[in-house]
A and B are shown apart, each in its own frame.
Chain A
Amino acid sequence: MSNDFFSMRGIVKQYQMGDEVSTVLKGIDLDIEEGEFLSILGPSGSGKSTLMNIIGCLDTPTAGTYTLHGRLIRDLDQKQLARIRSREIGFIFQQFQLLPRLNAIKNVELPLVYAGVSQRERTRRAREMLMRVGLKDRMEHFPNQLSGGQQQRVAIARALATNPTLLLADEPTGALDQATGEQVMSLFHELHDEGRTIVMITHDLKIAKHASRVVSILDGELSEGVRYD
């Protein structure tokens, strides 16, 4: 079966390593329903980062088809991929990846700049998103004035700013302590309850279990359910 929202069929990714060709993804099939909270669980070297790059349209597969929000992601040039990243995907990274010279508002505004939103609208939406993640009184702060958890919430606000089809989180709690990680996860739950689609990539089973569905990846092959010990 396939759907228009998110569908991957036979995704293969190969890299040329000198004379050898290494196959990192060996035919991935994956469907995600709108409003789903999915975890992709896998150890390092399992190909989950590569899969994330393809889901995030940072990279294109060697073979296979990928349909996102009714659009076939294949043979697109850099500019078109940038458009899709701008409109369809909200990235959340392990190391937050905030720009240190910008304050919280400006960081959240960044994807809106590339989406071509006017300055006034940018500020309005950035404030709204920061309020949404509970940083009402931290808006003018710079990343180095914020705790790890606060920084990750700024990054989540940034991912939400363009109102993307899909939130794509790569080890979102990897750089946080247990308690803060739990807070971030509860924010994810709230977002899920609001109807957002979330794809979370992690190697941590405990974190993965927060999702409504877990798939495992091992040696470039995907399987439903936990297959990870």
Chain B
Amino acid sequence: MIKRKWDMFMENVSMSVANIVGSKMRTFLTTLGIIIGVAAIIALMTVVQGATDTMTEQFDAMGLGTLRVQISGTAIKRGLNDAELDEILGCAHVAGISPSLSGTVTASRAAAWSDAITVYGNGSGYFRHNPDLLKRGRAINAIDEAQESRVCLVDGGTAKTLFYGEDPMGKTLYLSGREFTVVGVIDEEEDASLFSQILLGGTSDGTVYMPYTTAKKLLGTSSVSTLEIYVTDPDETDAAIEEMEAVLDGIFNYKDNTYMVINMESMTDAMNLMTSMMMSLLVGIASIALVVGGIGIMNMMLVTVTERTTEIGLRKALGAEPSQIQMQFLIEAVILSLIGGIVGVIVGLTVSFLICMGTDILFSLNTFAITLGVSFSAAVGIIFGWAPARKASNLNPIDALRSM
């Protein structure tokens, strides 16, 4: 009995394939809706997933066991002074700190000028914790920090703006009129701050890094409002946060909303939640295309049933049961939409691969998206193929054979 059913099934499949192959143009147009729907779902899921992976990787690069402290301060106390930074450094869970500040300055050289160079002042610890940041030259060290040395690291944008065609290493440039020596070049691919720049919508010509002490002078501030804190043990991040909050409460005299301690890991979690919500929303929208595609299949199948009235009558005369006729047309609808689904998967993967290549987003085969696309299309075939198949099975064989 099972063998018989299987035989019947295979017979139906080969009949459907013959019918589908027999009218290629029609098949293509019919399945186009499904192709577009599935391709959209696959492309969206793959690209969003890739973007999430890319961002997560960058957040992770910014640091496990790294806390970021953002000071908004009070009217009379805007940031942290050196003594307070030392107090934070003295905490039990703190292995090191890197104060940072940023601003935009004008930069000039003999033959070039820009008024949109972003300055990042960082502690020497920042470079120790991000060793890949440096492409060539040397990093900012503790001596630079203590001596407020006028040294800087430049990124590709700055190099392009100010050192076009020259090696910036060892050269001098003027930032807000003050002379600085370039001691190193930043590897942009590893530059996590680039990402935050994109988020902030910066339109900077380039970035230079320098000791935070130097940057304080250059930007004319006496206090620091941003710092990274390196925790002694990443497993004790929570304890470190509590300790930090106690110290900062003391510094700001228990005023609300004067500071924020951000844990990078919790940011990653929040971002993952956000992107998965975004993904569901986008996939929901793309599913509308699938429904439209399903209606296309249904329409096509209804036309097919009408066209093949004689065939249906003949099959009935030869002993086909109504359920067998229904199965045949249902299988044909499912095969049609599966073809659409598979082509859609290929198109979707190709499109998302190209998008990922073009935008430096990590591309990975999202097997969940592929499974979803294919099973969605099969489901569409069953749902929208049902009514036409039912119609075919209910055709009166006499009416069907009358046309003879």
Contacts and interface: CB of A to CB of B under 8 A. Distances in A.
B320 interface: yes
A113 B11 contact: yes
Contacts of A101: 15, 18-19, 22
Interface in A46-105: 53, 56, 58-59, 78-79, 82-83, 85-87, 89, 91, 93-95, 97, 99, 101-102
A97 B401 CA distance: 10
Contact of A83 (B3, B4, B18, B319): B319
Interface in B290-324: 310-311, 314-324
Interface in B372-404: 397-398, 401, 404
B398 A87 contact: no
Interface string B133-172: 0000000000000000000000000000000000000000
A118 B317 contact: no
Nearest to B321: A82
B260 interface: no
B249 interface: no
Interface residues of B, number: 26
Interface string A160-174: 001000000010000
A79 B323 CA distance: 8
B3 A97 contact: no
Contact of A82 (B314, B316, B398): B316
Given A83-B319, A86-B318, A116-B4, A58 B397 contact: yes
B318 A111 contact: yes
B316 A119 contact: no
A158 interface: yes
Contacts of B22: 101
Contact of B319 (A93, A97, A111, A170): A111
A85 B317 contact: yes
A69 B198 CA distance: 85
Interface residues of A, number: 31
B133 to A, nearest CB: 67
B7 interface: yes
A81 to B, nearest CB: 9
Given A99-B311, A102-B18, A87 B319 contact: yes
A115 interface: yes
Contacts of A115: 319
Nearest to B314: A97
A58 B15 CA distance: 24
A59 to B, nearest CB: 5
Nearest to B394: A78
Interface string B3-15: 1100110010001
B18 to A, nearest CB: 5
Nearest to A111: B318
Contacts of B324: 82, 114
Contacts of A91: 317-318
A110 interface: yes
Contacts of B315: 110, 114
Contact of B314 (A79, A99, A119): A99
Contacts of A89: 317
A85 B404 contact: no
Nearest to A53: B398
Nearest to A122: B7
B18 A79 contact: no
Q: Which of A97, A111, A119, A158 has the most chain B CB within a 10 Å cutoff?
A: A97
Contact of B398 (A58, A99, A111): A58
Contacts of A95: 404
B320 A82 contact: yes
A218 to B, nearest CB: 21
Interface in B18-33: 18-19, 22
A86 B318 CA distance: 6
Q: Which of B19, B317, B323, B404 has the most chain A CB within a 10 Å cutoff?
A: B317
Given A79-B323, A101-B18, A158 B318 contact: yes
Contacts of B397: 58
Nearest to A95: B404
A63 B324 CA distance: 29
Nearest to A110: B318
Contacts of B401: 53, 58, 93
A97 B321 contact: no
Contacts of B316: 58, 82, 85
Nearest to A91: B317
A57 to B, nearest CB: 9
Q: Which of A111, A113, A119 has the most chain B CB within a 10 Å cutoff?
A: A113
Given A79-B321, A114-B324, A162-B319, A97 B310 contact: yes
Nearest to B325: A82
A94 B404 contact: yes
Contact of A59 (B15, B322, B398): B398
A221 B321 CA distance: 32
24 contacts: A53-B401, A58-B317, A58-B397, A58-B398, A58-B401, A78-B321, A82-B320, A86-B320, A93-B314, A93-B401, A93-B404, A94-B404, A101-B15, A101-B19, A110-B315, A113-B11, A114-B319, A114-B320, A114-B324, A116-B4, A116-B7, A116-B8, A118-B7, A119-B7
Given A82-B319, A82-B321, A86-B318, 18 more contacts: A58-B316, A58-B397, A58-B398, A82-B324, A85-B316, A91-B317, A93-B314, A93-B401, A110-B315, A110-B318, A113-B8, A113-B11, A114-B315, A114-B318, A114-B324, A116-B7, A116-B8, A119-B7
Interface of B: 3-4, 7-8, 11, 15, 18-19, 22, 310-311, 314-324, 397-398, 401, 404
A-B pairs, top 7 by smallest CB distance, nearest first, are: A86-B319, A114-B319, A111-B318, A82-B321, A116-B4, A101-B18, A85-B319
